[in-house]
Amino acid sequence: MSKIISHSLFTDFDISLFKAGKHFRLYEKLGSHLIEVNGEQGVYFAVWAPSAQSVSVIGDFNSWNGNECQLEVRWDSSGIWEGFIPGVQKGAVYKYRIRSFNNNALTEKTDPFSLYCEHPPQTASIVWDLDYKWKDDKWMKSRKDTNALDKPYSVYEVHLGSWKRHQAEDRFLTYRELAEDLVNYVKETGFTHVELMPVMEYPYDPSWGYQLVGYFAPTSRFGTPQDFMYLVDKLHQAGIGVILDWVPSHFPDDGHGLGYFDGSNLYEHPDRRKGYHPDWKSLVFNYGRNEVRAFLISNAIFWLQHYHADGLRVDAVASMLYLDYSREEGGWEPNIFGGRENLDAVSFLKEFNEAVYTNFEGVQTIAEESTAFPMVSRPTFQGGLGFGMKWMMGWMHDTLQYFKRETIYRKYHQNDLTFSMTYAFSENFMLPISHDEVVHGKYSVLGRMPGDEWQQFANLRLLYGYMFTHPGAKLLFMGSEFGQRREWNFAGSLDWHLLESKFNSGIKNVITDLNALYKLNPAMHEKQFSPEGFEWISYDDHQNAVLAFIRKGNNVKGDVIVVCNFTPVVRTDYRIGLPRKGKLVQIFNSDDERYGGSGVTNEAKIKIDKEEYHGKPFSASLVLPPLGVIAFKIS
């Protein structure tokens, strides 16, 4: 193997941008790059390690000898070490051996910008490229319209390792196998998007991917980077958007990772009150350090550019925003104004969103933010954080709490359902029933439902009907769409055999039809984030536990009338007020026998009477099925 050759991909402008925290394509410079120098093929290596006294590239090409390929530090005080090693080829395995100035400690680190990593528990980086011929031009050209906020946004949340396993070999499905099975399934059930729990390389399976080490590398558990591109490509060709879970909130302290990278607190905040998560026992990024901000925003841009992601769901935003998040009194320090907001993190999130929306059309950023922090999904020029959407955690908590109750007591808790409408349009909300709600002793969604088997499934159909007709985008975790009874287990497959049951297959049919209802009726999505898109008919019938409302779009003739009966009692001759004359045509009934329901229904067309009711000039008499939701249009 040849000795290392001095070479740089950095210009002076690159360095100035990097130091200022404004270089958002660092992956084009840092990391390992297959290039040609002076007619020789090889790999250029570059790593940021300002507190190192020496940095070597060790790998299978030099027998892991730390003396042979020592990088040179740049003269410009950027802290970047770099060099070109002739003869190194794609597939070479390597690490950085770093000797620290601080204590002369010697560590071996994974490349923070590696494109591909060894299969855990192995921890080395792999020289790779991003060559791939995409076939999703049609999707990418139409994405700006498809992903707009006035379009349907129904998300299927997936953990790739446990969605389905290869039965004969008892192993994960590969990215390419998922590109057949998962794509066909999502298309069949009608979801508009998938959200993939973190696919970036992570060392520890029970973290579900939320403890990242390889921020630029899709996990090798399921194949190569090109295999993952193939999966995204196939989803796009099927008309399905791809949201990636993104974790800029923390990272593990594994010895080969970002923690104490060059012998100093390089990526993590040096103050443990800001740099350590007591809940997750992980490290927190230093959002006030320019180079760290550039690293994180470059990472977001990378997945949108090279993997054609259509959105980023940002994990644990609340933990970033608050200095006292999950900390005891005395375990945090107020900001310069005496408040508890992490001003560096607030600034970082705004800059991240500005960079994403400036560089890409037709993408969305989504915040998992569990507090009342204001204007999370409002533009930064209005003083907001700049996200496209925010998870509606309050709706999720109140709704699941309501559905857990025995139906006889629900009349005392109607406010659990109606309260969400008092703040539903303060943000662009996505209604989530996510993986977090079906683990850690919380039971599955079905397992929360009261009553006998029939009532449990009827309640589940009612919950989903209420969810899909409520304003906002939707998200449902895998397995919930067919009523999996046990909690999610990351180490196993979903219980696909349950689809042999009429009740479970009925739930899947409900979700398929609700997705169609949501997509095909503009009133269900055109104004889903605007108060103009919703009107109560009746919210105060506590005694019967009934809600009735109207979903509105741009055309009044497309309005959808929704009535929910949250008890197992059939309500006959139940009158509701209506805004105009005509006939009511039923377009959905969660009690349909096809779904496992009892088949209580209304006539095909229901006469609308000129009789004032609920403050409306017209009204009609309906039959409300037990534990059911019904939807109508006026013809």
- Cα–Cα distance list, 116 to 32, 119, 249, 420 (Å): 10, 9, 22, 44
- Secondary structure string (H, E, C) spanning 597-617: CCCCCCCCEEECECCCECCEC
Of 195, 291, 351, 368, the catalytic one is 368
> What is the number of other CB atoms lying within 10 angstroms of the CB of residue 616?
17
Q: Which residues pair with 604 in a beta bridge?
A: none
Q: What 8-state DSSP symbol labels residue 70?
A: B
| DSSP β-ladder status, 282-283 and 276-277 | antiparallel
Beta strands in 223-293 (DSSP E): 241-246, 276-277, 282-283
Cα separation, 131 vs 218, in Å, equals 15
The verdict on whether 315 is a catalytic residue reads yes
177 classed as catalytic: no
Question: How many Cβ atoms sit within 10 Å of the Cβ of residue 365?
Answer: 24
Nearest to 300 by CA among 379, 365, 219, 212: 365
Map residue 384 onto helix, strand or coil.
coil
**The two three-digit tokens of residue 272, written as one number:** 């443990």
Of residues 315, 437, 526, 592, which has the active-site annotation? 315
Q: Could you tell me which of 204, 221, 307 has the C-alpha nearest to residue 256? A: 204
Structure tokens at 570: 């059939």
Looking at the DSSP assignment, which residues form a beta bridge with residue 322? 341
Say which residue the tokens 């009532």 belong to: 455
Got the DSSP string for 500-528?
GSHHHHHHHHHHHHHHHHHHH-GGGTTTT
Nearest CA to 125 out of 92, 97, 99, 98 is that of: 92
Q: Which sequence positions are flagged as catalytic?
A: 315, 368
